[in-house]
Amino acid sequence: MNYEVHNWGLNVGNVEITGVASSSIFLIGDNETIKLTSFYDTPPDSYIVGSLVPLRHPTIEEGTDNG
Amino acid sequence: MDKRVAHIGKTRINSIAYSSMFEIGDANTFTPTSRVIAVQKEGGVETDEGFEFDQYELFSQEPSNVPDSLTVQQKNYHHNPNIHVENIDVKGISASSIAQLGSLNHIDSVSRIKHIRILEKEQNQNDLIE
């Protein structure tokens, strides 16, 4: 298989990244080979999406001082 | 392969940790490894004894075999030998990672992270709504 790449101009304004983590890469330039391996083991709680913060009791009326 | 030149205006990086790197310029190979056991214990952790790497399978497991990719004849034509980026803002780089302004031929990175939670008492979902 023949693969031909034409790199014309590359101009970027802003790059904003929160995190590059667990065997990851952010590269501005050229590269030949990349091999990224990551093993991860975490308790199921960490994957549950949602809040465990106690919810306000439904019977409390609005404007009531709950403090 | 010819490498292009990166022109960067401004870079801001908040933090770099655990076998990670921020590099300005070209490099040939980057092969970082990080092994982490992260223990969160209710009441605090006093010692790291009893948390050895060889205790957990995660640190001895081999990645499953990736089938050999077919050979590709690649030709690169850099019509413009420059890459321009005005601003970069990175909050964090962690666990065998890299942010590089420049070219990097070969990358082989490994990260192994084991999370452990130790609770004094199992929390019941119903206890929370009272």
pLDDT, tens digit, for every residue of B8-28? 999 999 999 999 999 999 999
Would you say residue A67 has pLDDT above 60?
Answer: no
Looking at CA atoms only, how far is residue B53 from chain A in angstroms?
13
The residue type found at B102 is G
Query: A23: helix, coil or strand?
Result: coil
| Percentage of the residues of chain B whose pLDDT score is greater than 90 | 68
Domain assignment present for residue B58? The answer is yes
Could you say which of B1, B98, B117 has the minimum Cβ distance to residue A30?
Answer: B1
Q: Which residue has the higher pLDDT, B41 or B104?
A: B104
Spatial distance between the Cα atoms of A56 and A29, rounded to a whole number of angstroms: 52
**Residues of chain B contacting residue A56, judged by C-beta atoms under 8 Å apart:** none
Domain assignment present for residue B130? The answer is no
Domain assignment present for residue B92? The answer is yes
The residue type found at B66 is V
Q: Do B6 and A28 touch (CB under 8 A)?
A: yes
Spatial distance between the Cα atoms of A42 and B112, rounded to a whole number of angstroms: 11
Domain assignment present for residue B72? The answer is no
Would you say residue B41 has pLDDT above 90?
Answer: no
**Residues of chain A contacting residue B105, judged by C-beta atoms under 8 Å apart:** 31-33
Domain assignment present for residue B74? The answer is no
Number of CB atoms found within 10 A of residue A66's CB: 8
* DSSP per-residue letters across B6-39: EEEEEEEEEEEESS-EEEES-EEEE--EEEEEEE
> CB neighbours of B25 closer than 8 A, spacing ≥ 6?
B101, B102
Q: What is the pLDDT of residues A11-44, one digit of tens each?
A: 999 999 999 999 999 999 999 999 999 999 988 7
Looking at CA atoms only, how far is residue B49 from chain A in angstroms?
20
Domain assignment present for residue B20? The answer is yes
Domain assignment present for residue B91? The answer is yes
Instruction: Fill in the DSSP letter of residue B102.
Output: S
Exposure letters B85-111 (e unless 16+ CB within 10 A, then b): beebebebbbbbbbbbbbbbeebbbbb
What is the number of structural domains in chain B? Answer: 1
pLDDT value at position A54? 65
For residue A56, what is the nearest residue in chain B, using CA coordinates?
A: B129
Would you say residue A64 has pLDDT above 60?
Answer: no
**Residues of chain B contacting residue A3, judged by C-beta atoms under 8 Å apart:** 72-75
| Confidence grade of residue B64 (pLDDT, cut at 50, 70, 90) | confident
Q: Do B97 and A5 touch (CB under 8 A)?
A: no
Please name the helix (run of DSSP H) or strand (run of DSSP E) that holds residue A40, with its range, or none: strand A31-41
What residue numbers bound the domain in which B12 lies?
5-62+81-119
ipTM over 0.95: no
Domain assignment present for residue B41? The answer is yes
Q: What is the pLDDT of residues A35-51, one digit of tens each?
A: 999 999 988 766 555 55
